[in-house]
Structure 1
Amino acid sequence: MTPTARIAAAIALLDALESAPRRPADAVANDFFRARRFIGSGDRRAIADRAWGVVRERARLDWHLDHVGAAPSGRLLMAAHMILAEGAGMTGVEAAFTGGQYAERPLSAEERRFVAKLDGRPLHHPRMDEATRLNVPEWALPGLRARFGEGLPAAAAGLEGSAPLDLRVNLLRTTRETAAAALAAEGIETAPTPFSPWGLRVAERRPVLATRAFEEGLVEIQDEGSQLIALLADARPGMKVADYCAGAAGKTLAMAATMGNRGRIAALDVSVPRLAGATKRLKRAGVDNAETHLLEAGDRWVKRRAASFDRVLVDAPCTGTGTWRRNPDARLRTTERDLEELITKQRAILDRAASLVRPGGKLIYATCSVLPGEDDEQVRRFLDDHGDFAAVDLAQAWSEAGMSGPAPGEGTFMALAPHSHGTDGFFAAVLQRRP
């Protein structure tokens, strides 16, 4: 595809995203490209990169368009991004909107008038309100300020940067060194992650899913922060473990490896498609000590297994604020009402999952959020209501999991963020039931 055809396709993708504001952008993009199988992989990547660039800057672009009196559209958003973020100038925009074969039609007189007003303006305008300047939704600002304090500008910048590609080595099949060598033989260079003993960080974006190392189950794609949550679970051989809200079983896979495939893991979720994906991943990784179970209304599975698990990991549904680097559309889709509903749901899930923990066992509560209401405030509420549980300090939990170096962070809970740890934003608390 020509550069102008790629821009036209990116505009069409932006329009598709706009028509489905509550759907995750990656799901919309998958449908978009599935309906256009003629677009090759390189072109798909270039088109997606352009569209995601607009999505990442959407709040600021909307601010600029509003200040020149324009309503946002796929065409104007792309033109504004080219002017404000790429420095293309009016000449560059008009060269992209030529009306030639497969190119976007020329700007109308009105569109040209709007875009011309943007030429020469800074993307980060001094008159922007704080939320727009930091590129965070207004509803999230109080929680982010409470979490990061004076470090909020740096934290916000970290949350809008690009995310690395992290892999978790499957210790059931190989070692980190052997996996790194296998990937290098296929042209993919990696480096050990700084905290996770199982992690490899890919130097640049590469097609890992097409490698033999991935197909043979030597590695899985998993952010280092997510790996550390599985590490804190300290699941050992012979234990009985429940992965509540297991999703596609990324942490189930990691815990199966620390257990050496000995003991039993129950991967629980409310989604049939997610559990179906989990089953495929478990098979590819050679995990044979795990089973999946669908949690349904009226299901007595949890009640029948009360107080019988050594470890219960709750990776709770959340706003995903810690993953904005990977899912920039989430900051546009999620609302304050979503946050309120999720906090209520997390509370119910945590209460129910806690009943599975045996005396002396551990409950690990985790989110990919950086908002206190979903994280430490949720845990403190739980501890106030459950006097038979106590928090385990992060340093102690880190040591008990067999780690000799310093833990990533200080205090009782693990709180990770892109700007401070290089991972996605994650929270984890280790809570032990009194014997």
Structure 2
Amino acid sequence: MNLNKVFATVQEASRELLSLSDQEINRILLAVADAALAKSDFILAENKKDLERMDPKDPKYDRLKLTAERLQGIAADTRNVATLPSPLGRILKDSTHPKGMRIKKVSVPFGVIGIIYEARPNVSFDVFSLCLKSGNACILKGGSDADYSNRAIISVIHEVLERFNVNPHIVELLPADREATAELLNARGYVDLLIPRGSSNLINFVRQNATIPVIETGAGICHTFFDRYGDVKKGAAIINNAKTRRVSVCNALDCVLIDGDRLSDLPALCRPLPQSHVVIYADPYAYNVLKGSYPDELLKEATEEDFGTEFLDYKMSVKTVQSIREAIAHIQKYGSKHSECIVTEDESRAEWFCRDVDAACIYVNVPTSFTDGAQFGLGAEIGISTQKLHARGPMALEELTTYKWIIEGEGQVRE
């Protein structure tokens, strides 16, 4: 396959998107949501082929798995995107030049957005819905683990687009091989923006090898700091939810930091975790406190590698700190600038934590599991940006637009 021809075809199709009204786009999105459910047997059968090739113990298995219930959620997210206001054509700035010209800053699509992702077939639906709503064509490069699922999903979307007489090349799925990845990373002149979604290894690889602009998303090494003024009941619920709600996602808890003055409360904070068979890698202080109160088979002594690890599993580390400064320093060293939490009843310390911790999302007495575009009222998300350029945190419609300047006059000339 000559991928440059594919890229050029998608780029040409992206220009056709500019003529679609928001009402037409919404009708297509609703039809895609309906088709996802109507074709659920087909999609789930193809997904099963992928699942049969993966060890159920693999942390990626949960991300790969589609169910009737998850397809219902995907369809609901797609319908929700259709209800959101269009991010296009917004006048971001409007002024009049001394010579009388009107100068406007107006939101517009990027054009073509490339997405590289691993075993997450839901991303195929999410990316398409957000890109269509924001006027962008998209080129998808999924992993081989989810290739049957992704191809089924894109075939369903293409059927809908053809029914609406819309160029189906506004969304293309590349082959699931490394050669396609290499070509996409270097598709200068065809792809305007590249967004990797997946492990830190994938993100680092894309950042280091791409010759087109990249927004880093995905890798989440998330901490919860239980402050000396924290409430145990709140802390236990927050830690349990952040760790066990869904371990394979980037907002899941990886490390609990506990103030040394509150070490005696650590068993109570961890009490719900054995129900989910959470393995704890504890530093010496925490290990001594937990020994005898936490199941022996689930309690391990921590090594340096256990801090700064995105577990994506029923595992977490515990680190004892002697001050809020030490907690912040630990997060600075080991965090990924994704989502961080403090449990405290002291308002000034909460403000200190929010001010000094460098991350896209900071939580006070709320679990990091809420880092999600839908939870933030953005509809489905395309990823969580952990960088500071252009977008930060959950990326949805507004983050998939750029802008252009439009200057209107009546023949004025510059002296």
Normalised by the length of structure 1, the TM-score is 0.29
**Larger strand proportion of the pair:** 2
Normalised by the length of structure 2, the TM-score is 0.30
**Greater RCO, CA 8 A, separation 6+:** 2
